[in-house]
Amino acid sequence: MTSFLTAASTEQENISHDTRRLRLISGTSNPPLAQEIATYIGISCVPLVSKRFADGELYVQIQDSIRGCDVFLIQPTCAPVNDSLMELMIMVDACKRASARQITAVIPYYGYARADRKTAGRESITAKLTANLLVKSGVDRVLAMDLHSAQIQGYFDIPCDHIYGSPVLVDYLSTKDLEEIVVVSPDVGGVARARAFAKQMKDSPLAIIDKRRSAHNVAESLTVIGEVANKTAILIDDMIDTGGTICAGAELLRKEGAKRVIACASHAVFSPPAYSRLSQPGLFEKVIVTNSIPVKEENHFNQLKVLSVANMLGEAIWRIHEESSVSSMFR
């Protein structure tokens, strides 16, 4: 299977890189990812001072001139989500006041994405509110990865490029000796994602787990729609939070006769008790995630594999800077 990054690298060889007006700035959410992106592009991140006052207020100062530059702020709005989001908006304001030409918020993980609609009376659509806050803060465009639902892209009244982590997951799985694959959606809402993933996995068959929620972060699996017996089941989701959904799905697949169960997700949120659930012996052969969110050392376990999306994000950043197609990366 040919990686999209191989094609991107070939294309890069024919491009004369002009990074004189390209600037990367990392917030405090995921500096290692920002450094990997900078290495791919071939520049260094602009130094940034970010600190907290005694009363909890955040302070940000950009250490180099960015006047007239295309600035890309790399900041997943992961836990602590409110601090990460506020820091990003303060960074945007600092860039505006420093006369940046264009400001792009690179958000590998978009916090509050699950609050994308009203499911009961008197609720907030916080995903839309977050988009409004970012636009009002002065962001000119957004680069996001694996948004929880497609409609979030439309919440922004500015250009929003939505890219996918699935090629990185598929590239890794294609190097493994996997036979009789069936791609499984852990719920009905993830069917479109699973179908697209199954197509990339050499048009593998699709199965769906029908489940119901009794409360937030509480999932009750009911039945499997599709054939999984004696097959390698790949559970695909956009994120793993407490692990309840994905683990309940894995248990059901084992009961239905799946010989191997592999979990794949772009975002490793890993809220407690995710570690104890995911690390159960005999449940998952592998849990594959990306580094869109930094995985804390205490959340690492034997079955875990963390893949880097830095090259993919770096390629997207370069294409935005060059005003070339981002979507063509995935064709």
Q: Which residues are catalytic?
A: 211
The answer to whether 70 touches 321, Cβ cutoff 8 Å, is yes
Phi, psi for 203 (deg, rounded to 5): 55, 50
Neighbours of 285 (CB within 10 A): 16
- Rounded to whole angstroms, the Cα distance separating 209 from 255 reads 13
Residue 2's CB is within 10 A of a number of other CB atoms, namely: 8
* Number of neighbours of residue 203 by Cβ within 10 angstroms: 9
- How far is 168 from 307, CA to CA, in rounded Å? 7
Q: Which residues pair with 236 in a beta bridge?
A: 264
**Pairing state of beta strands 232-240 and 260-268?**
parallel
Alpha-carbon gap, residue 286 to 246, rounded angstroms: 12
What is the sign, positive or negative, of the torsion defined by CA atoms of 85, 330, 246, 209? positive
Interacting residues of 2 by C-beta distance below 8 A, sequence separation 6+: none
Distance, C-alpha 262 to centroid of its chain? 18
- Residue partners of 68: CB distance under 8 A and separation at least 6: 21, 99, 100, 101
Contact 324, 47 (CB under 8 A): no
